[in-house]
Amino acid sequence: MPDKWVGLPVCVESMQGILADRKTKTRRVAKPLSLRLTTDSDQSLEAGEIVLRAPELWPYRLQESRGRHKRACGELTPRRMPAPYGMPGRLVYFREPIRENHLRQVVYRADQVIARGAEGYPIPWAWQNSALPGRFMPRRLARACATISDVRYERLVDISEADAIAEGLLPAGENWQNHAGGREQLVEDYGAWWDRLNAKRGFGWEAAVRGDWHGWVSVTSWTDLVVGWEKVQEMLHGN
């Protein structure tokens, strides 16, 4: 039976937003990097290519038909690609950055809380490095989970003010009315935040505007957030 859960890596700032229940979406660079927008009338398509098909805006892999009839042989058949972290209804746990403290215990970097396991005992550090990024955090340390509610693809620079807020951009207790610069500034602030995470890898905001990379992102939304190590681990082991 396939696992119902998938790990979703997040950075420290994102985890802080998740714990405060003000971050409910994440944007990731769409794969592959050769991705391009096409239509059914595009004559330049090649077998094996993964393209973003309009107007659906979803990635498909083009496979060469192996039909019985000669007329069908060689035709390209689009096969829908899976979502990065699963479709709506999929259960995800958040993989967050952790570090070692002076007592060789696991500490969650988002809030500097010591990870505690069964009966409240601190979980010992078990790695050679003194810190681990979220993508390497083991499932047994997960303390937050949610249910995917929506997945879509869009241009990075087309993010709305509402989505910038859903990305956890605003501090607790603040809204766009009292945010310096108002709604328009939210998008600029999100672009700056995106750059801090992605510009060095070649996927910056302005680089997307210039066309240095394809500029498409997957947008994954979630709901039904659950926070707490015991609750999450019980859910993980129960499914």
pLDDT for 97 beyond 90: yes
More confident residue, 43 or 18: 18
Residues 6+ apart with CB under 8 A from 206: none
What does the pLDDT read at residue 126?
A: 97
pLDDT tens digits, one per residue of 57-66 = 999 999 887 6
**Are residues 104 and 47 part of one domain?**
no
pLDDT for 103 beyond 60: yes
**Are residues 146 and 90 part of one domain?**
yes
Enter the tokens of residue 52: 């973003």
CATH number for position 119: 3.10.400
pLDDT for 47 beyond 70: yes
The mean of the pLDDT values for the chain is 90
**Are residues 100 and 67 part of one domain?**
no
Burial class (CB in 10 A: 0-12, 13-18, 19+), 217: buried
What does the pLDDT read at residue 171?
A: 63
**Are residues 205 and 171 part of one domain?**
yes
Enter the tokens of residue 98: 């952790």
**Are residues 104 and 149 part of one domain?**
yes
Percent of the chain with pLDDT over 90: 75
Q: Cα(141)–Cα(221) distance, rounded to whole angstroms?
A: 22
Q: What's the structural domain count of the chain?
A: 2
Give the end of a domain, one of 80, 112, 146: 80
H-helix or E-strand spanning residue 6:
strand 5-9
Check if the beta carbon of residue 192 is closer than 8 Å to that of residue 198: no
State the pairing for strand pair 216-227/98-100: unpaired
pLDDT for 24 beyond 50: yes
pLDDT tens digits, one per residue of 117-143 = 988 899 999 999 999 999 999 999 999
Closest Cα to residue 216, out of 30, 48, 88, 74? 30
What does the pLDDT read at residue 40?
A: 77
Domain that holds residue 212: 5-30+84-238
C-alpha dihedral sign at 6, 10, 15, 18: negative
**Are residues 151 and 206 part of one domain?**
yes
Check if the beta carbon of residue 183 is closer than 8 Å to that of residue 159: no
pLDDT tens digits, one per residue of 64-90 = 876 555 444 457 889 999 999 999 999
What does the pLDDT read at residue 102?
A: 97
**Are residues 223 and 209 part of one domain?**
yes
Question: pTM for this one?
Answer: 0.89
pLDDT tens digits, one per residue of 169-222 = 866 555 545 555 666 788 899 999 999 999 999 999 999 999 999 999 999 999
What does the pLDDT read at residue 238?
A: 80
Centre a 10 Å sphere on the Cβ of residue 97 and count the other Cβ atoms it contains.
21
**Are residues 140 and 66 part of one domain?**
no
**Are residues 91 and 54 part of one domain?**
no
**Are residues 103 and 41 part of one domain?**
no
For the stretch 176-181, contacts whose Cβ atoms lie closer than 8 Å and that sit 24 or more positions apart, written own/partner, are: none
Enter the tokens of residue 112: 């500097």
**Are residues 138 and 50 part of one domain?**
no
**Are residues 26 and 49 part of one domain?**
no
